[in-house]
Amino acid sequence: MLGDRDVLVIYDERVLLHRPQAQEPFLPGRMDNRVRGILEGLGMTEAKWSYPEHPGRVTAVHDLLQSNPVPGVHITAGKAATMEQLQRVHTLSYLEHLYDLEGKQAWLDVDTTAISAGSLDAAEVAAGSVIAAVDAVFEKKFHSAFVVSRPPGHHANAVRARGFCLFNNIAVAAAHAQAHWDIERVLIVDWDAHHGNGTQDIFAADPSVMFFDTHRAAPFYPGTGHLEEIGEGLGEGTTINVPLPGDAGDRAIVTAFENILVPAAEWFEPELILVSAGMDAHMSELCLTMTDDGYSALTGIVQRLADTYCNGRLVMALEGGYNPETLARCTRRVLEVLAGADPVEPREPGMAEVAAMTDFHISAFADME
């Protein structure tokens, strides 16, 4: 029943400090010239272009939870990650390069990933809040946790910022769980529409972390996540990619979870499940064709796995999702299931409406007999 499970939601206003602005000058240099050239080639002048990963994404979620609370959900502020915690997955040289840019606005990658004056404060809190969520479920203060954070993390690898991501929040949390809570096996599930290339890179050769990712197939950004990418070295077999066509929706993705993720988890027996919870597979994002019900169903599956193998330990962190209204609504549906509501069985869109209209019309035909 909704409200039977206590769920921690971490939302910290410091994540709003990440605000790259196209109208303000960027640090001059080769990267600035390259990005400007790309934007101009696409017809995106400074007057037209704005940074897609903006603060309104997470404020929309927070506002909805304030106006329409979910029973059992408790909202609190987060904390900043330390350099020691970040270094578990990122190289010192990469971190030093980022901190050399502290207080500045600069491009970090030609895919338009950027940093602004407050970005590192926001990114530290984003990563640290997922760590705090992990601690909360291990301390048994909550059944599960969801971190409403930004910038997202799953495209950042050990040495590079990409896809609007600076620190890999989920990877930092997984490494923390193993170091601090002395567990051996972590399962990371990524249902964002874009492949979590950074997370895969970080753990590709690590047999103690299983990475399962459903996403739109290449050449869709970032162009990775092919079926044959199954891990490397000792980690071979613990990377599981499910690349999907652009019209894949609830039934395809739920089936992938039931038929691939569930037996994989049975074999792996994780002690903690982390979810990169991007909401951009929703049909309104034009990447895949999931619905609100699909996210409810996926949450039910991973929660069932957490109950079976992890004593319920389940932590989710926001990744993509760029339609604020859809993002907020889908996040709330996820939280309802985490808090005890029954998952919704996905249905083919339009079937219920056709059934109702069939009843309406058939009754008219019956009257003619």
**What's the pLDDT score for residue 367?**
58
**What's the pLDDT score for residue 61?**
98
CA distance linking residue 171 with residue 229, whole number of Å: 18
Lowest mean pLDDT across 10-14, 126-130, 337-341, 362-366: 362-366
Cα 165 versus chain centre, distance: 11
Is the model's pLDDT at 285 over the cut of 60?
yes
Mean pLDDT along residues 254-283: 97
- Cβ–Cβ contacts within 10 Å for residue 243, how many? 18
Report the C-alpha dihedral over residues 38, 41, 46, 49, rounded to 10 degrees.
-80
Q: Which of 276, 286, 290 is nearest to 329 (CA)?
A: 290
CA distance linking residue 112 with residue 166, whole number of Å: 12
**What's the pLDDT score for residue 197?**
98
What does the pLDDT look like over 116-156, one tens digit per residue? 999 999 999 999 999 999 999 999 999 999 999 999 999 99
Q: Which of 293, 332, 341 is nearest to 64 (CA)?
A: 332
Is the model's pLDDT at 31 over the cut of 80?
no
Q: Which of 263, 257, 259, 268 is nearest to 235 (CA)?
A: 268
Lowest mean pLDDT across 159-168, 282-291, 322-331, 353-362: 353-362
**What's the pLDDT score for residue 349?**
75
Give the class (CATH, top level) of 7-367: alpha beta
Q: Do 346 and 251 contact (CB within 8 A), yes or no?
A: yes
- Cβ–Cβ contacts within 10 Å for residue 332, how many? 18
Q: Do 6 and 143 contact (CB within 8 A), yes or no?
A: yes
Q: Do 153 and 168 contact (CB within 8 A), yes or no?
A: yes
- Between helices 324-338 and 292-309, what is the axis angle to 10°? 40
Mean pLDDT along residues 12-34: 86
Q: How confident is the model at residue 229 (pLDDT cuts 50, 70, 90)?
A: very high
Predicted TM-score (pTM) of this structure: 0.94
What does the pLDDT look like over 43-76, one tens digit per residue? 665 556 678 899 999 999 999 999 999 999 999 9
Q: Do 204 and 290 contact (CB within 8 A), yes or no?
A: no
CA distance linking residue 201 with residue 39, whole number of Å: 28
**What's the pLDDT score for residue 206?**
98
Please give the mean pLDDT across all residues of the chain.
94
Domain ranges in the chain are 7-367
Lowest mean pLDDT across 8-22, 31-45, 222-236, 278-292: 31-45
CA dist list (Å): 291 to 12, 104, 266, 305? 28, 39, 27, 22
Q: How confident is the model at residue 27 (pLDDT cuts 50, 70, 90)?
A: confident
CA dist list (Å): 297 to 5, 20, 252, 348? 17, 35, 12, 14
- DSSP element (H, E) containing 215: strand 209-216
Here the tokens at position 19 are 């605000």
**What's the pLDDT score for residue 138?**
98
CA distance linking residue 45 with residue 47, whole number of Å: 5
Q: Higher-confidence residue: 359 or 47?
A: 359
Q: Higher-confidence residue: 37 or 307?
A: 307
Is the model's pLDDT at 234 over the cut of 60?
yes
Q: Higher-confidence residue: 157 or 52?
A: 157
- Kindly give the pairing relationship between strand 272-277 and strand 186-190: parallel
Q: How confident is the model at residue 165 (pLDDT cuts 50, 70, 90)?
A: very high
Q: How confident is the model at residue 358 (pLDDT cuts 50, 70, 90)?
A: confident
Residues with active-site annotation: 155
Rg (CA), the chain: 21
CA distance linking residue 207 with residue 268, whole number of Å: 10
Provide φ and ψ at 203, rounded to 5°.
Answer: -110, 10
Q: Do 174 and 183 contact (CB within 8 A), yes or no?
A: no
Peptide bond into 52 cis (omega under 30): no
Provide φ and ψ at 275, rounded to 5°.
Answer: -125, 125
**What's the pLDDT score for residue 25?**
80
**What's the pLDDT score for residue 351?**
76
CA distance linking residue 90 with residue 224, whole number of Å: 20
